């Protein structure tokens, strides 16, 4: 019989957690595996909000297969919850099931849990271990950790450019610099986000749907448009189906009424300069349970978001072309000294079709 060690158990639990990549928001993506006598007897991942969490899914799976979980070891990618939310506490379910040991990857950053799940398990005589594959578990839930610890989402800015950093001709033509493979890959990153944000310039120029089409997903991210002066047309495709949030700085009651008829919500967040207060918007999105924010905007809004320190990482697709004098990636001011440069660290560089995908984080 194969010996099942803790590393194998947690790696398998992380694979299950990844199955929830597109569906669990605003809850974290959690996987759970139950092992007894060197055999997996139950496994599962967190379902959409209001439905069972990973631990309950795994317990139900074991029961469905006819296994007794008493004395089993549970591998779970996040500390079992200890509070009553939309579902009962998972810690209580594990205690009632009679498991012997719980191995968690990382403690829950939610103040409503934050160690209380572990404490409840230990008080019931269950052995608890934490920290195995912690970094992998954090990465999978980077937005949830950001919202719980910083009060705002993890912000990922996506852009596609030629290898000389050009995103469009001066005429505005940009379709298509990168390949279909890169565009499809970009939709997978859209799908994992809670919301997709763009600016009024992109809406007026491209009239995008701003939804997920290239990958199968049961959940469409929220669409957000930054539009200081409410210039958006009620016929814009980004409003189709309702639910779009429009962030403005200047009120226009008649226009707002027409937009609300389209199912849009207007969020007024002016700053002292008559534009949208971008840092305040990030905090507002955190309050609205946005874990990961995906940005696809023009170079002007891109530059503003970076200047206001609202971006955590860049998702860049670089095509093997040279375009020459054209629009760049970001509208940023000239520097007087290199000491003022903004520094990033490369997280991943991968070839997608003929293009390069670069994930880089601001330091």
What positions carry a catalytic annotation? 55
Helix (H) and strand (E) counts in the chain: 11, 16
Among 100, 48, 93, 96, CA closest to 74: 100
Cα separation, 112 vs 117, in Å, equals: 10
Residue 274: burial class (beta carbons within 10 Å; 0-12, 13-18, 19+): exposed
296 - beta bridge partners?
A: none
Radius of gyration of the chain (CA): 23
Give yes or no for a contact between 217 and 22, defined as CB atoms under 8 angstroms apart: yes
Among 202, 109, 197, CA closest to 156: 197
Cα 340 to Cα 209, 301, 333, distances in angstroms: 37, 20, 11
Chain-centre distance for alpha carbon 312:
12
Cα separation, 229 vs 252, in Å, equals: 8
Give yes or no for a contact between 318 and 354, defined as CB atoms under 8 angstroms apart: no
Among 241, 157, 162, 246, CA closest to 203: 246
Give yes or no for a contact between 69 and 98, defined as CB atoms under 8 angstroms apart: yes
Span between the terminal Cα atoms of the chain, in Å: 47
Tokens of 38: 């060197």
DSSP codes of every residue in 86-144:
SS--HHHHHHHHT-SEEEESS----TTTTTHHHHHHHHTT-EEEE-TTHHHHHHHTHHH
Give yes or no for a contact between 268 and 245, defined as CB atoms under 8 angstroms apart: no
Cα separation, 205 vs 185, in Å, equals: 23
């Amino acid at each position: 019989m194969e010996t099942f060690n803790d590393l194998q158990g947690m790696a398998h639990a992380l694979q299950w957690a990844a199955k929830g990549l597109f569906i669990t928001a605003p809850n974290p993506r959690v996987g759970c595996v139950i092992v007894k006598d060197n055999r997996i007897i139950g496994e599962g991942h967190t379902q959409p909000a209001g439905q069972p969490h990973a631990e309950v899914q795994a317990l139900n799976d074991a029961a469905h297969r006819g296994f007794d979980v008493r004395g089993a070891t549970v591998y779970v990618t996040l500390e079992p919850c200890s509070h009553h939310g939309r579902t009962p506490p998972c810690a209580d379910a594990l205690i009632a099931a009679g498991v012997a040991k719980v191995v968690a990857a990382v403690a829950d950053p939610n103040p409503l849990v934050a160690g209380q799940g572990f404490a409840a398990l230990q008080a019931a005589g269950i052995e608890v271990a934490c920290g195995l594959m912690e970094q992998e578990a954090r990465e999978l839930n980077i937005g949830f950790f950001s919202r719980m610890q910083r009060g705002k989402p993890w912000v990922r800015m996506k852009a596609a450019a030629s290898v000389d950093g050009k995103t469009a001709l001066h005429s505005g033509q940009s379709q298509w610099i990168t390949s279909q493979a890169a565009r499809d890959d970009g939709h997978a990153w859209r799908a994992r986000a809670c919301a997709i944000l763009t600016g009024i310039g992109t809406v007026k120029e491209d009239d995008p749907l701003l939804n997920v089409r290239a990958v199968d997903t049961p959940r469409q991210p929220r669409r957000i448009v930054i539009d200081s002066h409410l210039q958006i047309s009620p016929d814009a495709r980004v409003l189709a189906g309702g639910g779009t949030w429009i962030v403005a700085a200047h009120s226009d009651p008649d226009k707002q009424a027409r937009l609300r008829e389209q199912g849009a919500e207007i969020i007024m967040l002016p700053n002292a300069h008559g534009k949208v207060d971008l840092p305040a918007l990030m905090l507002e999105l955190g309050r609205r349970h946005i874990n990961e924010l995906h940005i696809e905007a023009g170079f002007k809004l891109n530059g503003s978001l970076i200047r206001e320190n609202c971006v955590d990482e860049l998702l860049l697709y670089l095509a093997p072309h040279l375009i020459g004098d054209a629009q760049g990636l970001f509208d940023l001011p000239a520097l007087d000294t290199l000491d003022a440069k903004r520094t990033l660290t490369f997280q991943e560089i991968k070839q997608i079709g003929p293009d390069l995908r670069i994930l880089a984080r601001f330091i």
